[in-house]
Structure 1
Amino acid sequence: MTNPYVKLDIINQVGYIEFFHPAHNSLPGDLLTKLAQTITEAGNNKDIKVLVLKSGGERTFCAGASFKELININDDATGKIFFSGFANVINAMRKCPKFIIGRIQGKTVGGGVGLAASTDYCMATQYAAIKLSELNIGIGPFVVGPAIERKMGLSAMSQIAIDANSFYPAKWAKQKGLFTQVYDSTEELDEAVKEFTENLCTYNVEAMKEMKSIFWQGTEDWDALLADRAAISGRLVLSEFTREKLKGFK
C-alpha cells in the first residue's frame, strides 16, 4: 500500500473506519478532515450499530500528525489550522452517537494516543506501545491532552507528556485505563474485536446512545477548549526553540 486513504466498510452492522498513510500512518490535514467527516457520517448511518476505528498496515497504529506539514508552518493561523486537525477528529468521536471501539495493532505516538483515548472501548496488541513526544520539539500534547487525561487520569497523562523520549508498553497503558485488553497478536486482536462488536450489535441501539452521552458528560466545552489548545501549539511551533529543533529533521 502506498496511497493514503480513509475508508468505511460495513460488515454485519459494524462500521469499520480505516485510515492509512505510508509514513507510519501519520496524518496530514486532508486525511484528518476526511476521517472526521467519515466518523460523523457513520454515526448517522442507520445501517451501522457500532463503529471500529483502525489503521492499515501491520506495524504503527498512528505516528501522529504529518511531520512534513509541521515543518512548513510559518504563521499562527496556519499553525492553529494544522493542530485543529486532531481536535476535529476527537470532537467527531465525542459527538458520534455510537460506541467507537479502538483496534490498536502497533505503536502509537502523539495524536494517535489521543485517537485511542477518544474511543469508547479500546483493544490492543502487546506491540501497541505509546508515546507523547511533543515536548521534545518545544510544543506539547495540548490538543490531545484532555482526551488522554479523561481516559488515563492526570498523573498518567503528565508522566508520558513529561517523559517525552520514552515508549510506554501496552500493558502499562492497560493498567492506566487506556486499553481494556491486550492480545499477543494482531490475529487474536481482530478475532476479539469482531466477536465483541458483533455482540454489541445485539444490544439496544438507544440504550447504547444514552450510555455514550453519559460517558462523555462534562466535555461539552471541548469545541472551544480544543480550538484554544490548537492555538497554543500553533504559537509555540513558531518559537525559536522549535524552529531550531525542526531544522534537524529537514
Structure 2
Amino acid sequence: MDESYVKLRVDKRVGYIEFFHPNRNSMPSDVLALLAKTITEAGSNNDINVIVLKSGGNRTFCAGASFNEVISIENPETGTLFFSGFANVINAIRKCPKLIIGRIQGKTVGGGVGLAAAADYCLATKYASIRLSELSIGIGPFVIEPVVTRKIGLPAMSQMTIDAETFFSAEFAKEKGLYADIFETAEELDEAVESLATKLASYNPEALAEMKTVFWKGTDHWDTLLIERAKISGKLVLSKFTKKTLKRFR
C-alpha cells in the first residue's frame, strides 16, 4: 500500500468508500477531488442504500491537508483552490441523498475532523483522538468550522481550535457528539459498522433520504460559505508566519 487511492466497493446495498495516502492518509488535491466525485457517484447509484466512509491503514484515519502541497502554494488563487478541496468533499457528503457512516479507526487531524463531523453517524476505536492544529501553523480551521460546530457545538470547537497542539481523546469526541460509540479494537469497530450499515440498508431508502434532508436543514448556503472560508485559508497560508512554520515540516 504505497500509492494513494480512492475506491468504492458495494456489498449488500452498502457502498464502502475507502481513501488512502501513504503519508498518514493526508489529503492532496487529487485525492480530495476523487473522494468528492466518488461520494457523489455513490449517492446516485441505485445499488447503494447506505455509504460507509473509511480510510486504509490502522493508525490514522486522516492527517488533514497534505503539508507537501500546502508548502508549495505560492498565490491566493492556488491556496483557495487547494482548501476548496475539503469544501467540495464536505458539500458532496452534505448533498449525498444516502446516509453516510464514518469508520474512524485512528487519529484524525484538521480536515480529517471535518470529514468525521460531516458523516451522519460515526463509530470509532479508542485510539481515534482528534486535533484541530491549524492555528499552530498560522492558519485556522475555517473551511471545516461550520461542519464541526454543527456536530459538537461552538464551545467544544473553540476549545479544540485554541488548544491547537493537543490531541483530544476519543472519549471527548464521544461526549461532544462526534462519535456515537467507541470500541477497543478495529475488529470490533468493523463488526459494529457492518452491522449498522446492513441494518440501515434494509430500511426504506425514501425514508432515509428524507431524514438526510432533515439532518442537513439550514445548510443550503454552504456551497458559497465554504468557498469563502477556503479563500481565508488560501490567503493566510502565504503569510510569513505560516511559510516559516511549514518549513519545519519539510
- What is the TM-score with the length of structure 2 in the denominator? 0.99
* Matched residue, 1:122: 122
The alignment-based identity, stated in percent, is 64
Q: Which amino acid in the other structure matches residue 215 of structure 1?
A: F
SS in 2 for 1:65: coil
SS in 2 for 1:52: strand
What's the offset of the Cα at 1:93? Answer: 0.1
What is the rounded CA distance, in whole Å, between the counterparts of 1:18 and 1:117 in structure 2? 17
What's the offset of the Cα at 1:135? Answer: 0.4
Is structure 2 residue 62 aligned with structure 1 residue 45?
no
Is structure 2 residue 12 aligned with structure 1 residue 12?
yes
What is the rounded CA distance, in whole Å, between the counterparts of 1:249 and 1:188 in structure 2? 35
Is structure 2 residue 193 aligned with structure 1 residue 193?
yes
What is the rounded CA distance, in whole Å, between the counterparts of 1:182 and 1:249 in structure 2? 31
* Matched residue, 1:156: 156
SS in 2 for 1:61: strand
* Matched residue, 1:213: 213
Q: Which amino acid in the other structure matches residue 197 of structure 1?
A: A
What is the rounded CA distance, in whole Å, between the counterparts of 1:199 and 1:248 in structure 2? 47
Q: Which amino acid in the other structure matches residue 235 of structure 2?
A: R
What's the offset of the Cα at 1:107? Answer: 0.2
* Matched residue, 2:71: 71
Q: Which amino acid in the other structure matches residue 202 of structure 1?
A: S
What is the rounded CA distance, in whole Å, between the counterparts of 1:176 and 1:246 in structure 2? 31
Structure 1 alignment gaps of length 5 or more: none
What is the rounded CA distance, in whole Å, between the counterparts of 1:61 and 1:246 in structure 2? 22
Q: Which amino acid in the other structure matches residue 246 of structure 2?
A: L
What's the offset of the Cα at 1:245? Answer: 1.1
Kindly provide the CA deviation profile for residues 205-233 of structure 1, in whole angstroms up to 9, marking residues without a partner as x: 00010000010001000000000000000
SS in 2 for 1:25: coil
What is the rounded CA distance, in whole Å, between the counterparts of 2:31 and 2:202 in structure 1? 32
Q: Which amino acid in the other structure matches residue 81 of structure 1?
A: L
* Matched residue, 1:137: 137
What's the offset of the Cα at 1:145? Answer: 0.6
Kindly provide the CA deviation profile for residues 182-209 of structure 1, in whole angstroms up to 9, marking residues without a partner as x: 0000000000001111001111100010
- What is the TM-score with the length of structure 1 in the denominator? 0.99
Q: How does 1:167-246 map to 2 (within 5 A)?
A: 167-246=167-246
Q: How does 1:26-105 map to 2 (within 5 A)?
A: 26-105=26-105
What is the rounded CA distance, in whole Å, between the counterparts of 2:111 and 2:22 in structure 1? 16
What is the rounded CA distance, in whole Å, between the counterparts of 2:249 and 2:22 in structure 1? 18
Structure 2 alignment gaps of length 5 or more: none
* Matched residue, 2:110: 110
What is the rounded CA distance, in whole Å, between the counterparts of 1:84 and 1:208 in structure 2? 28
CA RMSD of aligned residues (A): 0.5
Runs (4 or more) in structure 1 with deviation over 4 Å come to: none
What is the rounded CA distance, in whole Å, between the counterparts of 1:162 and 1:225 in structure 2? 22
